[in-house]
Chains A and B, each alone.
Chain A
Amino acid sequence: GENVEQHPSTLSVQEGDSAVIKCTYSDSASNYFPWYKQELGKRPQLIIDIRSNVGEKKDQRIAVTLNKTAKHFSLHITETQPEDSAVYFCAASITGNQFYFGTGTSLTVIP
């Protein structure tokens, strides 16, 4: 089955700086890559996703890039704010039937 690795496991940045989280996947058939944000004690919520026919997608301060050849994708958060502090999970899916999640990155934005 698919194996998704996520790095780093923890990340601290100063408010206003950028944060980058990277994930790799093993199955070249994976074609849908969502990113979830999970605040303490709350449910995961989708923040951005990308499909395999697209190399980059942006939504305000958040962007995701995908390199199909290298089988890796990254989350970029610019101008970080304290409310960005949370655990972020990447995931990979083949046709949306099964989702394989990364191990999570705990992001702390220091005011």
Chain B
Amino acid sequence: EADIYQTPRYLVIGTGKKITLECSQTMGHDKMYWYQQDPGMELHLIHYSYGVNSTEKGDLSSESTVSRIRTEHFPLTLESARPSHTSQYLCASRRVGEQYFGPGTRLTVT
């Protein structure tokens, strides 16, 4: 079934650790996005990609990196996790029109 997947769904990790949040979509969408969202609050764009080998920074990008080596895969890496990174991370994709969101990764940094 065409969808967008995120792993892990929940992650608790210690300060200073390096983590990678995975996002994959099976819809062949060229545009992909990462957002940070505290519960019930607005979505903040972290990174986005127009297609393979294309990445752009959003408003909250300074402490993370992304890569887009394959159309379907758009991982987000935090080099050194901090308690301020505790939040929900949503991945999304689109071709034309609506964005489809993944189920999210809820990250807690202790």
Contact = CB atoms under 8 A, between A and B. Distances in A.
Interface of A: 1, 34, 38, 42-46, 49, 87, 89, 96-104, 106
20 contacts: A38-B40, A43-B90, A43-B104, A44-B90, A87-B40, A96-B31, A96-B94, A96-B97, A97-B50, A97-B56, A98-B48, A98-B58, A99-B99, A100-B45, A101-B42, A103-B41, A104-B40, A104-B41, A104-B42, A106-B40
Interface band, chain B: 20 to 34
A103 B90 contact: no
A102 B90 contact: no
Contacts of A100: 45
Given A34-B99, A49-B97, A96-B97, 10 more contacts: A38-B40, A42-B103, A43-B101, A45-B101, A87-B40, A89-B43, A96-B96, A98-B48, A102-B42, A106-B40
